[in-house]
A and B are shown apart, each in its own frame.
Chain A
Amino acid sequence: MTKLRVVHYVNQFFAGIGGEDRASEPPGVRAGVVGPGQVLQRALGASAEVVATVYCGDDFFAEHEEDAAATVVGLIGRHQPDLVVAGPAFNAGRYGFACGRICRAVEDILEIPAVTGMYPDNPAVELYRPSLYIVVSGPNAVSMPATLERMAGLGLKRARGERLGQPGDEGYLARGMRFTEVASQSAAERAVDMLLASVRGEAWQTEWPLPDYDRVSPPTPIKDIRRATIALVTSGGIVPKGNPDRIESTYATKWKKYSLAGVAALTPDGWQSIHGGYDTTRANEDPNRVLPVDVLRELEAEGAIGRLLDQYWVFVGSGASTTNARRFAEQMADELRDSSVEGVIFTAT
């Protein structure tokens, strides 16, 4: 069996170039192992070889992130690795961000697995945790051997396409991905066990941790509503009749924007709801019930609002993932900002 090829990324300090005084060192490469790479090589064993060590000064990387990442990935790619190991960065912020950025770029551009290691409080963890395998390290290099041992184990499994165990067992930070598995007991047995443990004051663990959602702080009030341009956004699935862009009825992956120019009110002949999560009968009888164009046109005519923006944004909330929903929100918010509206009425169902 041919040996797996591994490239190790370290900062200028672990590359043996120097400390803070050499943090501006541009990217470079050395053949084989350097510094902690020896420990990594021992942990990888005979089935894999560290063929090169790529390094960069922490300040250089932070100050030229785009270019430095491109250069580093280029240097890594030249050695045709099967796996990239970055760090561990412990609790070092700049080093952590560099390791995260490089691992992301390696996985996206070179399409090979990458593994890094960080202390859970490293500021780069929050940014990279959802999309990278980050092995848990201690705050400083005292934990180097144990961390590299786990990084090597996890990296080999990934390079071989083997199934990974649970985060706690493998020593990496949970990315928050939920995967279905077959348990050894029925759900009913597990439920009653959990209930009795809880009542008896024994240890129990939920199978599905509650999420920690962002809180959105309300903006300042509109100064003069009589002059304000108001836009409509809906998750209620109101689209032109026939759903020309085939927005999904549930688990939506896209949103659309449609014109309201010259539309005094929505009519059942021209508009419909394609939402898959509520009874759309009443919405289809009168689509204004979900997207209140009729009332806003009246308010516009009365001068109660400045004007209704001549376009609206629509998606379907039914089962939409929060990842997609966040992306929809960011994209729609950009467009809303560009269309200089002062207020948005968001109708849900």
Chain B
Amino acid sequence: MRLELRTTIVDDVHWSGATRLAGGVLEIERDELRTLILEDAAFEDVTLDIVRPGDSVRIIHAMDAAEPSWKSDPGSTFPTFVGPPRTVGEGVTHRLSGVAVVTASNAVAGEPTYWREAVVDMTGPGAALTAFGATTNLVLTFTPHPSYLDASRPDAAIENIMVGSSLAQRYNRSVRVAELKTAAYLARTVADRQADEIKTYELTSAPAGLPRVVYFYQLSGATVYGEAMDGMLPTLIHPNEVLDGAIVNVRSNVHASNRTSTYANQHHGLIEELYARHGRDLDFRGVIVYPAASDDVNEKELLAEYAVKLARLLGADAACASYAGGGHPAVEFMLICRKCERAGIRTVLVMPEIYGTPDDPGFVYFVPEAERIVSTGRTTQVVDLPAVDRVIGGDAFFDVPGVPAEAQRLLYRYLLGCGTSAGNGRLTARTY
């Protein structure tokens, strides 16, 4: 599979009478975009804001983010969300870099808010910790249709607190569809334009003797081609598919720091790094995706067995594995490490530290084989953020005391994407 990513660099974003790219400036016709988004009856209204790096702005209630992307044949733009269910990861994809579409909304009936708060600061130390502090963001703040706020509806009942009511799940999906439609709408403007950068991704055959590396990608709150993987066995995916819109975040109930947004999948740190060294330092054999949150010990064992079996089929002798966060997912994650090591596959684990206090050893679960760990930071440490002039996305935090516009002492946990185990960020933790 050969993917050609054609990137147009966007210097700024403005409202305009027509949606187009003009001299490095992305111009957007606001009403046309509003109409496109409000095609979905899930929304009563949407507010559109453009915020830039350095602006005194705090986005709260962030749900997901995506980079504008458009794909002509073969393939499909964000398959099953925007385009038809076709395999992506090959052909040509147009991207706008320097821009992100960020979605935000209040919670709807039956949507748990404990894990929901996600903050993006455009200025100060918070901005430096997330990709979205360096992009010009088109923020879509949705007002749900009143029917989505009716807690007495049968489908507003919470069957499972981790995912919320079926109503909340539908709403979250609608938000992603609107986000990705917007991302496609914006990137389509450059479909006929000469790109600023062209980068090709292909797993060409690597010289013999290089370590054969696979990546175990633990998903949480994400779909693969629109399918939640809950209850499924691990499966193979080509790294190009991940970079090309096959994996979409659909659930906001993952701590913001660890939430691997759709944007973070499009720029997946570990996949980019393994690709960068493919053929030179290593032989990148592929990606094994698997769901988190099975709570049955036999299922965990089976899942780990099956994932490692796939790695062996790929001839792996080394692996990177990332952890989605949470309690249960730690078990299958560590079991994969153990079974890999026992099968002679060296593993490096990439994981956030999610425990409460600095003096805690910090593992939900571990195996003695987990000798090589890269930390993406202790998410329960606080960071001081300045007061801001403007807050977008909502009026009050979920489950966090304080007024959003004021100076905040917030846990890293609330900063969108700062410690994702996709490895995009630079956070770590050290022992003192």
Interface residues of A (CB under 8 A from B): 130, 164, 166-167, 174-192, 194-196, 198-199, 204, 206-211, 213, 249-251, 276-281, 318-324
Q: Is B127 an interface residue (CB 8 A)?
A: no
Q: How far is the CA of A185 from the CA of B276 in the complex (A)?
A: 15
Residue in A164, A207, A277 whose beta carbon sits within 8 Å of that of B432 in the complex: A164
B272 at the interface (CB under 8 A from A): yes
Using A180-B427, A208-B362 as known contacts, say yes or no to A196 and B356 having CB atoms under 8 A apart.
Answer: no
- Contacting residues, chain A, for B432 (C-beta < 8 A): 164, 166-167, 174-175, 177-179
In the complex, what residue of chain B is closest to A195 when comparing beta carbons? B348
B112 nearest in chain A by CB position: A276
**Quick check: A195 and B318 within 8 Å, CB to CB?**
yes
Output the nearest chain B residue to A211 by Cβ-Cβ distance: B361
Q: Considering the complex of A and B, which 9 residue pairs feature the smallest CB-CB distances, nearest first?
A: A211-B361, A188-B423, A188-B269, A321-B360, A187-B423, A188-B273, A251-B356, A180-B377, A321-B356
Instruction: Please tell me if the beta carbons of B282 and A196 are within 8 angstroms of each other in the complex.
Output: yes
Query: Which residue of chain A has the shortest Cβ distance to B381 in the bound complex?
Result: A180
Q: A179-B378, A179-B381, A180-B427 are in contact. Are A199 and B358 (CB under 8 A)?
A: no
Q: Which residues of chain B are within 8 angstroms of A174 by Cβ–Cβ distance?
A: 431-432
Which residue of chain B has its CB nearest to the CB of A277?
B327
CB of B158 within 8 Å of the partner chain: yes
Smallest distance from the beta carbon of A272 to chain B beta carbons, Å?
12
Q: Which residues of B contact A324 (CB under 8 A)?
A: 356-357
Closest chain-A Cβ to B277's Cβ sits at a distance in Å of 6
What 0/1 pattern do residues 184 to 219 of B give for CB contact below 8 A with A?
000000000000000000000000000101000000
CB pair B431 A178 closer than 8 Å: yes
Give the CA-CA distance A251 to B346 in the complex, in Å. 33
User: How many A-B Cβ pairs are below 8 Å?
Assistant: 193
Interchain CB contact under 8 A, A208 and B375: yes
- Identify the closest chain B residue to A183 (Cβ): B428
Q: Tell me, rounded to whole Å, the shortest Cβ–Cβ distance linking A73 to chain B.
A: 24
Known: A178-B378, A208-B429, A209-B431. A188 touches B356 (CB 8 A): no
B314 within 8 A of A: no
Q: Are A190's CB and B428's CB within 8 A?
A: yes
Known: A186-B424, A207-B430. A194 touches B327 (CB 8 A): no
User: Are A319 and B350 within 8 A (Cβ)?
Assistant: no
Q: Mark B354-372, 1 if CB is under 8 A from A, else 0.
A: 1111111111001010111
Known A-B contacts A187-B374, A278-B295; the reply to A192 vs B274 at CB < 8 A is yes
The answer to whether A176 touches B422 (Cβ under 8 A) is no
Give the distance in Å from the alpha carbon of A114 to the alpha carbon of B376 in the complex. 32
Of all chain A residues, the one with the shortest Cβ separation from B293 is A279
Kindly state the separation between the CA atoms of A132 and B165 in the bound complex, as whole angstroms: 49
Question: CA–CA, A301 to B277, complex, Å?
Answer: 69
26 contacts between A and B (CB under 8 A): A167-B432, A175-B432, A177-B358, A177-B359, A179-B429, A180-B378, A180-B379, A181-B427, A182-B428, A185-B426, A186-B426, A187-B374, A191-B350, A192-B273, A194-B348, A195-B318, A195-B319, A199-B317, A199-B318, A207-B373, A207-B429, A207-B430, A211-B361, A276-B114, A277-B327, A281-B161
Q: CA of A33 to CA of B128 in the docked complex: distance in angstroms?
A: 48
A340 → chain B closest CB, angstroms: 33
CB distance from B261 to the nearest CB of A (A): 16
A183 touches B270 (CB 8 A): no
Given the complex, which residues of A lie within 8 Å of B423, measured CB to CB?
186-191
- Expressed in whole angstroms, the minimum distance between the Cβ of B407 and any Cβ of chain A is 19
Residues on the B chain within 8 Å of A207, using CB: 373-375, 428-430
Please give the distance in Å from B34's CB to the nearest CB on chain A: 37
Taking a contact as CB atoms closer than 8 A, the residue among B161, B348, B357 that contacts A280 in the complex is B161
B426 in contact with A176 (CB, 8 Å): no
**How close is B228's CB to chain A, nearest CB, in angstroms?**
15
Which residues from chain B contact A213 at a C-beta distance below 8 Å?
361
Residues of chain B lying within 8 A (CB to CB) of residue A180: 377-379, 381, 412, 427-429
Q: Could you tell me if B346 and A187 are in contact, using CB atoms closer than 8 angstroms?
A: no
How distant is the Cα of A166 from the Cα of B431 in the complex, in angstroms?
A: 7
Question: Is there contact, CB below 8 Å, between A187 and B162?
Answer: no
B394 sits at the interface (CB 8 A): no
A279 to B162, CA, bound (A): 6
Contact of B355 among A130, A281, A319 (CB under 8 A): A319
User: Measured between alpha carbons, how far is A185 from B350 in the docked complex, in Å?
Assistant: 14
Asked if B331 CB lies within 8 Å of chain A CBs, one says no
Given contact pairs A175-B432, A208-B362, A187 touches B426 in the complex (Cβ within 8 A):
yes
Q: Are B376 and A251 in contact (CB under 8 A)?
A: no
Task: Give Cα A208 to B353, complex, Å.
Answer: 9
B424 touches A319 (CB 8 A): no
Task: Considering the complex, give the chain B residue whose CB is closest to the CB of A320.
Answer: B356
The answer to whether A182 touches B371 (Cβ under 8 A) is no
A180, A182, A276, A323: residue with the most chain B Cβ atoms closer than 10 Å: A180
- Give the distance to chain B from A319, nearest Cβ to Cβ, in Å: 6
Give Cα distance in the complex from A326 to B180, angstroms.
Answer: 47
- The one of B317, B318, B362 in contact with A211, judged by C-beta atoms closer than 8 angstroms, is B362
Contacting residues of chain B (377-432) with chain A, CB-CB under 8 angstroms: 377-381, 412, 421-432
Let me know if B40 is at the binding interface, CB within 8 A. Answer: no
Across-interface contacts of A204 in B (CB, < 8 A): 372
Which of A195, A208, A250 is most buried by chain B, counting CB atoms within 10 A of its CB?
A208
Are the C-beta atoms of B211 and A196 separated by less than 8 Å?
yes
**Complex Cα distance A196/B377, Å?**
22
B298 interface residue per 8 A CB criterion: no
Kindly list 13 other residue pairs between chains A and B, CB separation below 8 angstroms, not including A187-B424, A251-B380.
Answer: A166-B430, A178-B360, A180-B377, A186-B424, A187-B421, A188-B423, A192-B348, A207-B374, A209-B431, A211-B363, A276-B114, A279-B160, A279-B161
B159 touches A (CB below 8 Å): yes
Q: Is B119 an interface residue (CB 8 A)?
A: no
Q: Would B374 and A191 count as touching, CB distance under 8 A? A: yes
Which of B246-293 touch A at CB < 8 Å? 269-270, 272-274, 277, 281-282
Q: Which residues of B contact A195 (CB under 8 A)?
A: 211, 213, 282, 318-320, 346-348, 372
In the complex, A140 Cα to B247 Cα: how many Å? 61
Closest to B159 in A: A281
**Nearest CB in chain B: distance from A189 CB, A:** 6
> Which residues from B are CB-within-8-Å of A186?
269, 273, 423-426
User: How far does the alpha carbon of A108 sit from the alpha carbon of B245 in the complex, in Å?
Assistant: 55
- Give complex CA distance A249, B115 in Å: 12
B349 CB, min distance to chain A CBs, angstroms: 8
- Interface pair B361/A182, CB less than 8 Å apart: no
Q: Which residue of B lies closest to A250 (CB)?
A: B114
Q: List the A side residues contacting B211 at CB < 8 Å.
A: 195-196, 199
Give the chain A neighbours of B328 by CB distance below 8 A.
Answer: 278
Tell me the bound Cα distance from A187 to B162 in angstroms.
27
> CB-CB < 8 A to A175: which residues of B?
359, 432
